[in-house]
Amino acid sequence: MTRPITGIAVVLILLGVVTMAGPTFGFATIAADRGVNVATADDSSAYLGLEDQSASASIDSPGEQTVVYTVTDNVRDDSATVDASIVGITDDSNDPVTSAALSVNVQPGSDAETFDIVLACEDGASIDGSYRVLLRFVASSDASSVDATRETTALVPVDCTAEPVVVSVDEDGDVTSGGDVTVDNNVNVGGDIESGGSVTVDNNVNVGGDIESGGSVTIANNANVGGNIVAQGDITIRNNAVSGDLIAGGNVDIRNNAKIDGDVMACGTVTVRNNAVVTGTISENQTDLPGVQC
């Protein structure tokens, strides 16, 4: 029995037509980009339905998820699968956002033959705003395939920011947070700092390991970072501070008497002020750097 799909946002793809000479088919499984597989229901129609649900979608905290598309399987072929993946994310100014900030998953829908395309925050993501998400659906069987790309028609409100962490007493191990991290004056961190947001290391702080930040990093006066710093945003090293390699998705500002015992690489500019020292090479205005998105 054929189930009609109504609504302006529904896209019906007749697979036999899209693949030209190939036979029509439905799909028996849906695989998300994390490898989740779920079985679909039998139906006799030759259509793959994609219904945009973004107008009612939102993520209000890192632990939440939201449905942005409903997929309807109207034909069954035991050899067929559909993969869902994120192609890109843009904000309300149409600027690109790292696609690693969100994950896509597939869950059973409210009806037997439907499945929900679900977005969630990735671990450590710190985006907060409204976004359009470009999704790719690839359906294939032993004999045919179809590739459909759809962007959410509405901006989806997303808040993946976690509560900020303030380190006010010495910490022997690592500090990990999905949000911002601040290390107070004269406090020591023996291990690494990993933050989905920005990292601020205040005056006279010692960090024994690396710093990895989803935002900007500021190292205050006389602070010492024993390892390297990787930041998606800007890196600022203030007076007399010491660090290893610096890799920034934004700009780097190395201020008076600071010492960088390694290389400095930035997607933006690198400024080295009075008496600051960089023992390695300086590479600015880069387009491809490890660990950051230029």
pLDDT of residue 44: 28
pLDDT of residue 101: 84
Name the nearest CA neighbour of 56 among 3, 9, 98: 9
Secondary structure (3-state) at 47: strand
Whether residue 19 is predicted with pLDDT greater than 80 in this model: the reply is no
* 290 lies in some domain: no
- Are residues 126 and 196 both part of a single domain? no
**Percent over 70 (pLDDT), the chain:** 77
Q: Which residue has the higher pLDDT, 79 or 11?
A: 79
Question: What strands, in cross-sheet order, belong to the sheet with 242-243?
Answer: 188-189, 206-207, 224-225, 242-243, 259-260, 277-278
Domain end, chosen from 159, 181, 201, is at 159
Domain end, chosen from 100, 134, 159, is at 159
pLDDT of residue 191: 96
- Are residues 91 and 123 both part of a single domain? yes
Query: Which burial class, exposed, middle or buried, applies to 219 when counting CB atoms under 10 A from its CB (0-12, 13-18, 19+)?
Result: buried
| pLDDT band per the 50, 70, 90 thresholds, residue 55 | very high
- Are residues 227 and 248 both part of a single domain? yes
**Percent over 90 (pLDDT), the chain:** 54
Structural domains counted in the chain: 2
* 64 lies in some domain: yes
Beta strands in 163-240 (DSSP E): 165-167, 175-177, 181-183, 188-189, 193-195, 199-201, 206-207, 211-213, 217-219, 224-225, 229-231, 235-237
pLDDT in tens, 130-187: 999 999 987 666 666 667 889 999 999 998 877 789 999 999 999 988 778 999 999 9
* 89 lies in some domain: yes
pLDDT of residue 16: 37
Q: Check if the beta carbon of residue 187 is closer than 8 Å to that of residue 170.
A: yes
Q: Which residues contact 284 (CB under 8 A, 6 or more apart)?
A: 252, 264, 265, 266, 268, 269, 270
pLDDT mean over 109-127: 82
- Are residues 136 and 179 both part of a single domain? no
pLDDT mean over 50-55: 91
Q: Range of 20's domain?
A: 10-159
Does pTM top 0.75 for this prediction? no
Range scoring the smallest mean pLDDT among 39-43, 56-60, 253-257:
39-43
Domain end, chosen from 131, 159, 187, is at 159
Whether residue 39 is predicted with pLDDT greater than 70 in this model: the reply is no
